[in-house]
Structure 1
Amino acid sequence: MSGTSPSDPAPASGPPTEGGVAAGDGPRSRFPLDTVYQAARMYYLEDATQNEIAARLGVSRPTVSRLVSEARRAGLVRIEVVDPFQDETAVLAERLRVVLGLQAVYLAAVTHTATLGVDLAEPVAAAVEAMHLAPGDAVLVSSGSTVHAIAHGVVPPMPGVQLVPTVGGQADPNQWFQTNEITRAAAERSGAIPTFLFAQALPSEALRASLDEDPAFQHVVGLWERATGAILGIGAPVATRDAMARGLPVDHAVFERATGDVCLNFTGPDGEAIEFPGSERMVRTSREVLAAVPHAVGVAVGAVKVPSIISAVRGRLVNELVTDAATARALLDALA
């Protein structure tokens, strides 16, 4: 039977008052606030049964269930789902930071290719927060599939910050290497201001010479040199890749030794620079500039990236790292 039993609180009439659950502009409730609070306190803090609460409050057992539900709806009860791997992840991050000699390591517990941008959102947000950015600061953004996923996923707020592409790739057929589009997407989601780089990754000699005289290009170079932070994809060993930036001589024998790259700065196992004919014309943030960025955050996930991460750290191309727990364990095993 529906309705209110004689022992139940009478339904509230008129506008809620300060004694009701929803005083002011909040949602209305048929129960007084003090009754809802007492029921929630006994249920969650005293572990009292619903029968015990009903007897103590003088209401029916079904009303106790409604009171507890009302407490949650009104915000009197906050339920937290605790990640059981959180402590383990924090310890793992610190171990990896020490072993690699980095400023910081930020880990996601688990990642999946289909949800990579969302999975890495929390550690990327933590890395950005540690940059202590202010409007007008510059943050560099590289190309690559991981940074592309981040830019089109959940990007932390960066209002007034200038996002700057680190490499050319204006008309690259692969979306992972379209640096202007990656920068635009990240700026749109973060409230940052995008800066664009209208150049190919490997221009001709004549085009490169004209770029060096172009004021817009020089503006971008100036932002590279004063950047506060950077979000940098760490590329996999060249031999394992399905695609490379347009114009690179991928068949050149030198790429067989390339364990990876950061902003098209290719490295060998010990972080040494790997150059090739035409590499002096590359439109890329140089190794020297990357080494001077206060928060150069490398992002990479997967066992295939382990040698790439190690070489990027040894080459001083990154000084912080965002990855997941599985990759962190693989790194520690490789370095052991």
Structure 2
Amino acid sequence: MFSAILVSVGRSAQNTRVSGVQAATPDAENGHFSPALLYAAAKLYYSEDATQAEVAAQLGTSRATVSRLLAEAKRQGIVRIEVVPPTGAEDGDLAERVAQAIGLTSVHLSLPLPAPAPGRTGVDVMGGTLAPVVARALAGAGLLPGDVLLVSSGRTVYEVAQFELTSLPGVLVVPTVGGNDQPEAWYQTNEITRLIADRVGGRPNYLFAPALPGPDLYRSLLNDPAIERIIRLWPHARAALMGVGAPPLLRSDIPQFVPTSSVSLRDSVGDVCSRFFDRDGAAVDFEGGDRLIAVELELLRHIPVGIAVAVGADKVESVIAGARGGYFNQLVTDPATALAIAERAEALPDSTPTGA
């Protein structure tokens, strides 16, 4: 893609019209050009799209002199040339910078998030801005009918699922974690699975199990054929779409099954699919976590296309740590978050992903 070139032709000090400029004099042929003549030549050539031959005919001089006139006009500042990058070029540079900084294969940047209306937050308006970029990332995953696409719960994925995505007919859409009894829709994994499947034309597969069942229920659920079928699909996933949770102890909104009083969670800076990790991307366990019905972090490392979607300053450390752990290899975010991620990651002593 080529850059655009903007040319501005400034008025000469004499403010002379092109039609009022006399033919080039012998002094002009020797390189002594008046500001009016320089302006006239520049205006004809750059503003009126005349050829150098046409400029020469109008000014009564040679094409060689016109070439010198144009060069002198640029030297004196009568003509100013600005090279403007094509739309998205700066974003492309930033995306590459983030990918290099945290070890991802690609970063997809949305437009800047719109300012929320009074009484709303950025979270309320992010879905429509992120959805087209998520659609492009999914389209690039090369999924075919029968392929497995894992989806996580969470506010970001839920908001994206309210908008049109790409067509992936016949793809099996599978939840990555069981549900819980909180009223918010973004915690209902099966609901998000249904929404995503509708948006891509895929086939939803539901997980009818709580995310963290009690010990007795956990053992019986693992023997349930319907639940066993979903769990067996996880290792065969070709792609995953997941949100990235902020540090659990700093969040005001978190699944009730997460024991925020757990000492171990103090080391956590985020989670994907309700699996927590520390600043280096290493897994962080919590009491009862061995009963969690959710895809394992180690399995996420082996999914060919792992697309994380995250925006906001509170997600910066979480995204960096998740990338270090190798739990996703692509990121969808907005330019402001991307810049914050790049600056933070470049300031760290070692940004090499641990899962690489």
Distance 2:131 2:97 in 1: 22
Cross-structure match for 2:102: 100
- 1:218-242: per-residue Cα shift (whole Å, max 9, x none)? 1111211100100010001112211
Counterparts of residues 31-110 of structure 1 (less than 5 Å)? 85-110=87-112
What SS does the aligned partner of 1:235 have?
A: coil
Cross-structure match for 2:156: 146
What SS does the aligned partner of 1:260 have?
A: strand
Query: By how many angstroms is 1:122 displaced?
Result: 2.2
Q: Contact between 1:138 and 1:226, CA under 8 Å: does it hold in 2? A: yes
Q: Contact between 1:236 and 1:259, CA under 8 Å: does it hold in 2? A: yes
Amino acid in the other structure paired with 2:233: L
Residue 205 of structure 1, aligned match among 204, 208, 215 = 215
Residue 319 of structure 1, aligned match among 329, 342, 354 = 329
Residue 281 of structure 2, aligned match among 258, 263, 271 = 271
What SS does the aligned partner of 1:259 have?
A: strand
Q: Confirm whether residue 228 of structure 1 aligns to residue 238 of structure 2.
A: yes
Amino acid in the other structure paired with 1:308: S
Cross-structure match for 1:334: 344
Q: Contact between 2:249 and 2:260, CA under 8 Å: does it hold in 1? A: no
Cross-structure match for 1:162: 172
Q: Contact between 2:214 and 2:291, CA under 8 Å: does it hold in 1? A: yes
- 1:256-309: per-residue Cα shift (whole Å, max 9, x none)? 221000011101111111111100000110011111100011110011100000
Q: Confirm whether residue 243 of structure 1 aligns to residue 245 of structure 2.
A: no
Q: Contact between 2:132 and 2:165, CA under 8 Å: does it hold in 1? A: no
Q: Contact between 1:224 and 1:285, CA under 8 Å: does it hold in 2? A: yes
Contiguous gaps of at least 5 residues in structure 1: 1-45, 48-81
Amino acid in the other structure paired with 1:231: L
Distance 1:158 1:258 in 2: 35
Question: Under a length normalisation based on structure 1, what TM-score does the superposition of the two structures give?
Answer: 0.73
Cross-structure match for 1:77: none
Distance 2:299 2:284 in 1: 17
Identity %: 42
Query: By how many angstroms is 1:155 displaced?
Result: 2.1
What SS does the aligned partner of 1:310 have?
A: helix
Instruction: Please say which structure displays the higher CA radius of gyration.
Output: 2
RMSD of aligned residue pairs (Cα, Å): 2.0
Cross-structure match for 2:320: 310
- 1:157-205: per-residue Cα shift (whole Å, max 9, x none)? 2211111110011533222211000111111222111110111111011
What SS does the aligned partner of 2:301 have?
A: helix
Cross-structure match for 2:52: none
Amino acid in the other structure paired with 1:94: E
Question: Under a length normalisation based on structure 2, what TM-score does the superposition of the two structures give?
Answer: 0.69
Counterparts of residues 249-288 of structure 1 (less than 5 Å)? 249-288=259-298
Q: Contact between 1:160 and 1:191, CA under 8 Å: does it hold in 2? A: yes
Decide whether aligned partners of structure 1 residues 212 and 92 sit closer, same or farther in structure 2, where only a CA change above 3 A counts: same
After superposing the two structures, state which structure 1 stretch, 247-256 or 86-95, moved more.
247-256
Q: Contact between 1:117 and 1:154, CA under 8 Å: does it hold in 2? A: no
Distance 1:116 1:142 in 2: 17
Counterparts of residues 286-305 of structure 1 (less than 5 Å)? 286-305=296-315
Amino acid in the other structure paired with 1:97: A
- 1:22-79: per-residue Cα shift (whole Å, max 9, x none)? xxxxxxxxxxxxxxxxxxxxxxxx99xxxxxxxxxxxxxxxxxxxxxxxxxxxxxxxx
Query: By how many angstroms is 1:85 displaced?
Result: 4.9
Distance 2:326 2:194 in 1: 27
Q: Confirm whether residue 217 of structure 1 aligns to residue 227 of structure 2.
A: yes
Amino acid in the other structure paired with 1:153: F
Distance 1:247 1:328 in 2: 31
Runs of 4+ in 1 over 4 A off after TM superposition: 82-85
Distance 2:275 2:85 in 1: 37
Query: By how many angstroms is 1:215 displaced?
Result: 1.1
Cross-structure match for 1:4: none
Q: Contact between 1:93 and 1:105, CA under 8 Å: does it hold in 2? A: yes
